[in-house]
Amino acid sequence: MYDRTHFVKVRELPECMDQLRRIAFCREFESCINVDRPAVILDCSKLRQMDKDVIHLLLCCLEEAMKRNGDVRLAALRPDARKVLNSYRLDRVFEMFGSIDDAFDSFRLWPVSVAQAYPRADEAEDLVSIRPIRRSE
């Protein structure tokens, strides 16, 4: 297995997220995901309020990373922020860690090739043609 830990980027979310800070953060984030299979940790330790705008930003970050076969993990969330994410069931979408070190270590176990878990395009047609057999047949 290939050790990817030296490719992990850590980005800190600002204390409060107004429009100017959001734009600046998005530019900074974009620069770190313009690689194949980006691995990003978002440090949420300074984030004071987890509102809908921040949640939307987090989801957009995850979406952009996943488009490149990468991942975004959240670290050092305050208990109230974690509670908000859990209330929206986003604990099923994001991997959340108590510290940056724990999030960093989680990438050490990250598989080298995620694409192998999915069928190739020529195999996908075969999967579509398969239908369940009913007992009456």
- Which CATH architecture group holds 5-129? 2-Layer Sandwich (3.30)
Task: Identify the burial level of 96 via C-beta atoms within 10 angstroms of its C-beta, where 0-12 means exposed, 13-18 middle and 19 or more buried.
Answer: buried
In one-letter notation, the amino acid at residue 46 is: K
Residue with tokens 């510290």: 99
Tens of pLDDT along the chain (137 residues)? Answer: 444 445 899 999 999 888 999 999 999 999 889 888 999 999 999 999 999 999 999 999 999 999 999 999 999 999 999 999 999 999 999 999 999 999 999 988 665 544 444 444 444 444 443 434 444 43
The encoded tokens of residue 72 equal 């975004």
**CB neighbours of residue 61 within 10 Å:** 22
